[in-house]
């Protein structure tokens, strides 16, 4: 005959108590595994992972204490956040400074010349003296027509132009509600 746990002689009640103890042990072991796997995802140091797992061997209390003091985010999330911060800093840096096309030295948007090689990056506007790109035809700040753009237009006009082939004009749609005539019958 099986010895009763807690001095219970009733077989049915003894079975219920045995199943309850078994369930508590299984849940406790599951909490140990959960603590180990969660600590592995949240903590970078193997020693601290081992400490958290050993603390969870204290039934139920160890896992509860770990849940209170564990890091708030996963390692992957922290790494992703750091990458997003670096990318945002790079975008901000690219908005405030550009590189010289000649030497690659970082130069800000409003620089007229490269500080390293002295190459002209932008021309000053004759009206407001703000830096404008040599390719621009108009100053975006004061709406002054730029002389460099006029010279480039004159150069284009001096070049011989090729005659453009004439396209046959399509009949325009009549504004009335009548359908267009069938082109196959014409």
Per DSSP, the chain holds a count of helices (H) and strands (E) of 5, 4
Instruction: State the pLDDT at residue 126.
Output: 83
The region of weakest confidence among 29-33, 43-47, 107-111 is 107-111
Residue 156 pLDDT > 80 = no
Tens of pLDDT, residues 47-70: 999 999 999 999 999 999 999 999
Residue that wins the pLDDT comparison between 53 and 167: 53
Instruction: State the pLDDT at residue 141.
Output: 84
Tens of pLDDT, residues 70-79: 999 999 999 9
Confidence of residue 83 (pLDDT cuts 50, 70, 90): very high
Measured distance CA(127)–CA(135) in Å, rounded: 17
Measured distance CA(114)–CA(104) in Å, rounded: 9
CA dist list (Å): 79 to 44, 84, 86, 87, 156:
12, 9, 11, 12, 54
Tens of pLDDT, residues 104-154: 788 777 788 888 888 888 888 888 888 888 788 888 888 888 875 545 444
Residue that wins the pLDDT comparison between 30 and 161: 30
Contacts of residue 66, defined as CB under 8 A and 6 or more positions apart, other chains included, come to 35, 38, 39, 52, 55, 56
- Whole-prediction pTM: 0.47
Instruction: State the pLDDT at residue 70.
Output: 93
Angle at 123 between CA 154 and CA 136, to 5 degrees: 50
Say if CB 114 and CB 105 are below 8 A apart: yes
Q: What is the mean pLDDT of the chain?
A: 80
Instruction: State the pLDDT at residue 168.
Output: 57
Say if CB 94 and CB 110 are below 8 A apart: no
């Amino acid at each position: 005959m099986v010895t009763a746990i807690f001095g219970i002689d009733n077989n049915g009640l003894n079975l219920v108590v045995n199943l309850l103890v078994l369930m508590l042990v299984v849940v406790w072991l599951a909490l140990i595994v959960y603590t180990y796997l969660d600590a592995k995802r949240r903590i970078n140091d193997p020693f601290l992972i081992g400490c958290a797992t050993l603390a969870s061997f204290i039934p139920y209390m160890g896992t509860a204490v770990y849940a209170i003091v564990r890091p708030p985010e996963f390692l992957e999330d922290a790494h992703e956040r750091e990458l997003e911060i670096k990318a945002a800093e790079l975008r901000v840096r690219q908005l405030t400074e550009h590189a010289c096309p000649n030497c690659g030295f970082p130069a800000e948007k409003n620089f007229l010349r490269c500080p390293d090689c002295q190459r002209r990056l932008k021309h000053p506007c004759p009206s407001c003296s703000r830096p404008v790109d040599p390719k621009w035809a108009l100053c975006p700040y004061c709406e002054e027509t730029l002389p460099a753009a006029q010279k480039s237009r004159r150069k284009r006009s001096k070049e011989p132009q090729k005659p453009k082939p004439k396209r046959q004009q399509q009949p325009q749609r009549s504004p009335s509600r009548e359908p267009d005539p069938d082109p196959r019958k014409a």
